[in-house]
C-alpha cells in the first residue's frame, strides 16, 4: 500500500517476512535508511515496526520529502539480492537496510464506494451533547438513516462513545442493533487499537463513511488518522456538527482541501446501491423518500 507522507500510514499489505522477530532481544539495532542518493545509518529499538521506521525516515529526511507524494517502504532482502516491499507485520530484529521510494504515478482518490469494501464510523452521538451541538436533532435523524442503511446493506458499523461515564451513551434514537463494535474512549480520534483490530478482521476495507460529533475535533482527527493509514474517508456533512457553526464549516473546508470526500447521506446511500435493480434499492429508497434535514448547511452556502 502506498504511503502518504502527509500523515503516518499503516503497514502495507504483503506476504512473508525477511527479518522476522526473533526470541529475546532488547536494546538497539543498526539500520541503514536510504532515500534518493542518500544513505544514513541510525538505530531503532529491537522489535520496531513500520510506524517507527516511518518516524525515523521523517526525522532523517523530512526536509527533503514532498509531503504530497506517495511512497512505499522497501527492505533489502539478501535472498533476492534486491529490495522488496516491506512485508506485512515486519519488525526489526537484526541489522538491515530499508529505503523510501517515491511512486511515479499520481494516485487519485476517486471516491467510489462499494458495500463490500466500506465501513461506517459513528462518532460520539451521545445524550449529553444534545443541548450543546448545533442542529443535533437533525444530525441524529440523519445518523439513524445511515445506520439503518448500513444494516440493510450488510455494512459493518463501528460506534464510539466519548467518556460515557460522564457524557452518557449513544442517543436512543440511533438503533445500534447489529453494529460490529461499541467502544468507550477518551482519545478524540476513533482510531484506537480495538478499532484497528476490528478493521483488520474485515477483509478488503478501503473506505470509511464517517459521521458524528464534533466536526472540528473527533471527526477531523479521526479522518486525518485514517487517511494517514491509507483509508479513503467520506465525511457525511449533514450528519456531523459542532457546538459552533464556525468550527463546523471551517473543519469541513479544511478536510475537503486535504482530499477527504465531504458529501451527503443521500449521496452515500445511493452510491452504495448504485442501481435501481439492486435487490435492496427499495428499502434504501424508503429511507431517503423524505429529504434529509439541511441542518444549517444551506444557510452557510
Inter-residue contact 69 to 100 (CB < 8 Å)? no
Which residue in the list 96, 134, 185, 238 is annotated as catalytic? 185
Q: How far is CA 253 from the centre of its chain?
A: 18
- DSSP structure class, residue 276: T
Q: Which of 19, 122, 218, 238 is catalytic?
A: 218
Q: Are 107 and 34 in contact (CB under 8 A)?
A: no
- Reference 208, options 193, 230, 188, 175; nearest CA is 230
215, with CB counted inside 10 A (0-12, 13-18, 19+), is buried
Determine the Cα–Cα distance for residues 12 and 1; give it in Å rounded to an integer: 4
Q: Is 185 annotated as catalytic?
A: yes
Given a contact cutoff of 8 angstroms between Cβ atoms, the answer to whether 168 and 184 are in contact is no
Spatial separation of the C-alpha atoms in residues 164 and 122, rounded to whole Å: 14
DSSP-derived 3-state class of residue 231: coil
Active-site choice (124, 134, 180, 238):
124
Instruction: Give the position of cell 460520539.
Output: 124
Active-site residues: which are they? 124, 185, 218
Amino acid at each position: 500500500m502506498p504511503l502518504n507522507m502527509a500523515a503516518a500510514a499503516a503497514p502495507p499489505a504483503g506476504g512473508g517476512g525477511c527479518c522476522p522477530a526473533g526470541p529475546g532481544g532488547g536494546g538497539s539495532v543498526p539500520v541503514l535508511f536510504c532515500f534518493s542518493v542518500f544513505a544514513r545509518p541510525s538505530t531503532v529499538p529491537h522489535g520496531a515496526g513500520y510506524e517507527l521506521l516511518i518516524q525515523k525516515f521523517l526525522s532523517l529526511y523530512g526536509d527533503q520529502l514532498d509531503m504530497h507524494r506517495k511512497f512505499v517502504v522497501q527492505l533489502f532482502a539478501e535472498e533476492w539480492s534486491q529490495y522488496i516491499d516491506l512485508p506485512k507485520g515486519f519488525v526489526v530484529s537484526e541489522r538491515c537496510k530499508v529505503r523510501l521510494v517515491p511512486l511515479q504515478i499520481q494516485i487519485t482518490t476517486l471516491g467510489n464506494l462499494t458495500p463490500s469494501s466500506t465501513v461506517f464510523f459513528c462518532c460520539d452521538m451521545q445524550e449529553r451533547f444534545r443541548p450543546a451541538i448545533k442542529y443535533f436533532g437533525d444530525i441524529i435523524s440523519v445518523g439513524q438513516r445511515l445506520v439503518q442503511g448500513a444494516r440493510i446493506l450488510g455494512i459493518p458499523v463501528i460506534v464510539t462513545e466519548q467518556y460515557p461515564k460522564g457524557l452518557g451513551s449513544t442517543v436512543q434514537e440511533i438503533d445500534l442493533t447489529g453494529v460490529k463494535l461499541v467502544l468507550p474512549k477518551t482519545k478524540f480520534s476513533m482510531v484506537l487499537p480495538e478499532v484497528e483490530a476490528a478493521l483488520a478482521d474485515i477483509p478488503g476495507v478501503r473506505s470509511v463513511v464517517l459521521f458524528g460529533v464534533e466536526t472540528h475535533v473527533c471527526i477531523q482527527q479521526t479522518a486525518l488518522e485514517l487517511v494517514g493509514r491509507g483509508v479513503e474517508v467520506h465525511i457525511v456533512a449533514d450528519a456531523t456538527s459542532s457546538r459552533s457553526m464556525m468550527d463546523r464549516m471551517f473543519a469541513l473546508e479544511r478536510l475537503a482541501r486535504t482530499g477527504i470526500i465531504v458529501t451527503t447521506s443521500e449521496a452515500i446511500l445511493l452510491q452504495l446501491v448504485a442501481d435501481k435493480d439492486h435487490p435492496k434499492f427499495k428499502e434504501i429508497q424508503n429511507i431517503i423518500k423524505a429529504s434529509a434535514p439541511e441542518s444549517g448547511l444551506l444557510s452557510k452556502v
